[in-house]
Amino acid sequence: MAAFLAALSLPCTAFAGPEEDRLAFVSFFQSRFPDILFDEFANGIYAIDADSRAQWLEIEEFPPYEFAIEHGQSLWQKPFSNGSAYADCFKQPLAEVRAAYPAFDAGRAEVVTLEVAINDCRVANDETPFAYDASELIDLTAYLGYTARGKKIDVQIPADEPGALAAYEYGKRFYYSKRGQLNFACADCHVTSVGMRVRADRLSASLGHPTHFPVYRSKLGGMISLQQRFFGCVRDVRARPFELQSTEYRNLEFFLAYMSNGLTINGPGARK
């Protein structure tokens, strides 16, 4: 395992790149959990913890995130003051909007997430952008995640776009870098210690993390975004969190989404 982590933490060279990283990433988790099919990793901890899975299946009979989907749909369909709507900002059919993000925008030379794209749409139509922790924005992404169920994550890093590769490498370094007073990296919990217990809960696999956000978290009694989860993890290792939708978190999301290429979007989700 040490050799695996060391290999992933090295910058890409002419002999290795994002796809080699991804294949090694997937291989690690499939070797660690040989009885779990690749597609099952889209279900997070419920792929590897039978007790949690049984509870989850019961919860899914009356999903606690339904209200977010309904609210998000009403927001999506409500016209702006100028008569335009969110659908006018996106080239993709409704079911494909969520799957189009995160993506590297060469013109802006940065990663654009779904949340950033929604706020760009609002600004372009003379509407005030949402705060990145606003329930309205999270509910919009919940609706778009729901409409995208069954679509595959397919993040692209074009060979002729050095900025995309640089963003990926930044996110990769972030993921494997130690930080905070506890001196933990993201990978310490979700790669090295995957499946192990932290108090009463098991640590989930990194593979598949982006598939099901935003999620309803029972312990919080509400919906949170993937980047709010980043924020909480950084805070929990006693480091200073970055702002939501910072370059750091957008690049981290870009890396994790690429690692999960080929898995099915199944958000929004329900988690403890």
Which residues on adjacent β-strands are paired with residue 264? 152
- Measure the CA–CA gap between 30 and 240, rounded to whole angstroms: 33
Residue 29 sits at φ, ψ, to 5 deg, of -70, -35
Of 121, 186, 189, 233, which is the active-site residue?
Answer: 233
Q: Is omega for the bond preceding 102 within 30 degrees of 0, making it cis?
A: yes
User: Residue 184 corresponds to which amino acid?
Assistant: F
Q: In the structure encoding, which two tokens stand for residue 64, read together?
A: 């606690």
- Measure the CA–CA gap between 210 and 272, rounded to whole angstroms: 16
Judge whether 189 counts as a catalytic residue. no
Measured at the CA of 115, the angle between CA 63 and CA 260, to 5 degrees, comes to 70
Contact at 8 Å (CB) between 233 and 218? no
- Measure the CA–CA gap between 22 and 59, rounded to whole angstroms: 32
| Residue 146, burial from CB neighbour count under 10 angstroms (0-12, 13-18, 19+) | buried
Active site residue ranges: 233
